[in-house]
Structure 1
Amino acid sequence: MTEIATPAFSPLRLEERSLAYKASAVLFGTIGLAVASRIEVPMVPVPITMQTFAICMVGALYGARLGTLTVLAWLGQAMIGLPVLAGGAGGLAHFAGPTGGYLAAFPLMALLVGWFAERGWNHQRPMLAFTSMLAANLLCLALGGAWLAGLIGLEKAVTLGVTPFILGGALKSALGAASLVALDRGWMRKKR
């Protein structure tokens, strides 16, 4: 009996790799997330960072399960005090402060983008990849804004914690979709 080949959802083809390779990918992903956290525009009460871009990329490249696991590992590093969050922050206090809702949304973002990527919303369909990343960013803003509203009130939360991030979320989603296409093209050239 012949097997029907299913196309890989990611140019990295992590779904075909060994457990050791996947564990290395998780470690590399947490490092990438920590580096993306350092790229920031300070704002109060929540800074603009490249975290959401990196989380979407991890979801798109790693898939729902491995992507979510990678984000959870990174957040676990933050919980034990490693300086992996925005501005080199770490510790449990950040999960209870103004950024708590956004941090809680991060694994859900990776899960959502990864789930869609596994269903063809990936480098092969960049507009759908963009849509999945934009949906993940909006989910993050909704959950982060809701948490922030409990701390500072709804109007201030929308003004300070949601509205300033909408355009950035759209731009990072477009960059993410374009990056997937570029990565796939570069990967395909290497195979020739």
Structure 2
Amino acid sequence: MKRIIALVLTATIGLALVGCGTKTNTSEDSSAKTTEQTSTQESKEKESTEVPEVTYESFESLLNSFANEEYYYNEANTLKLLTDEDETAFVKKAETALDKVLSDEKIDKSKAKVYQYYRNVNGKKDQVAYVITYGDNNTAEKVYEVYSDVSDDFEITFKEVKENSDIIAHKQFAELFKGEF
């Protein structure tokens, strides 16, 4: 009985040694594997965090991307004007209000392109006009955002004018803006 137990223990120890000792790793092999695993893991993390760069086909799509970040859309019916006549009347009223603001802010509309965007979130209506001023060579100089509130009866109340340097700094802005002329 003692011999059987001794043989079983010997066999168990032998198998354990064979299982653990079949491959001898040097510290160099181990550190090389660790470095390789780390670099593979880092490259996978970079791939998952890198946002693919978006290229825009037109100036409108570029400007829409900036406006859509704040839920503004370039259709006046976003405000729920419903009829074409209401929409046309509102757009004219908005242009008149914007002209007054630009005059008050001393922004020359004759050397500017204006792009209107509208938002209706939870019943609160407002609009933003992107006003892009340009020089004699049709190169954009500044981008202004003109914010206004819109009441339930579609009256327009001016809120503020801000300069937006992020839009003009976009790498495709200058190239795509040339297509607006």
**Structure-2-length-normalised TM-score:** 0.28
Q: Which has the higher contact order (CA 8 A, sep 6+)?
A: 1
**Structure-1-length-normalised TM-score:** 0.27
Larger relative strand fraction: 2
Q: Which has the larger radius of gyration?
A: 2
